[in-house]
Structures are given as C-alpha cells and as structure tokens.
Amino acid sequence: MVLMVGTSIIGDRKAISGAIGNVDLIAYYDYEVLRFFTNSVCRNGDLLAGAIYSHWMDANEQGLKLGEWVRIGDTMVRYIPGDGRGLYEIKPAF
C-alpha cells in the first residue's frame, strides 16, 4: 500500500494551542487522519504515524531512508519523494 502525504501536518496539539488560525488546525486534523489510517492498517499505528510525521517534518527520529525499507513496529516503510509530496510505501514486516 502507498500513503501519499502532500499537506502540512502538526502532530502536537500543544503546537496549535494559541490563536494560530485555520491552516494549523487543519494540519492538526490531517495528522489525526494519518493516525486513523495507520491505526487501521497495523498494530503499532501511532508509532508508524509518528515515524512518518517525524520524517515529513525533517526530524526523522525513526531513521526512514530514501528508497530503503525500514522496520517500524510491525510494518516496513520506504520513502519515495514526489513532486511536493512524500510517498510512503507500507507493507507488513512479517
């Protein structure tokens, strides 16, 4: 399966706690949609959502790599850049 991220996402509700505006609120809800999706496809959905979020925001705490499969919980994830989008291929690790 391929997940395409082509939007800003904010994974921490505290980051939008001020009167920031609708764009940041939408980015927070986009992250919640990401969490819903990842929790629907694997047992470690929050871990997977966090890894994708961290990579998309350039922190890359889980070490996702361009074109290489990386194990995240019970999934394998590979990042492929797109035109202003990130494509994350996801498959079971077993």
CA distances from 31 to 34, 70, 93 (A): 5, 21, 23
Q: What is the pLDDT of residues 33-64, one digit of tens each?
A: 999 999 999 999 999 999 999 998 889 999 99
With a threshold of 0.85, does the pTM exceed it?
Answer: no
The total of structural domains in the chain comes to 1
DSSP string over 44-58: THHHHHHHHHHHHTT
Q: What is the pLDDT of residues 9-20, one digit of tens each?
A: 776 655 555 545
Print the domain residue range for 62.
Answer: 2-92
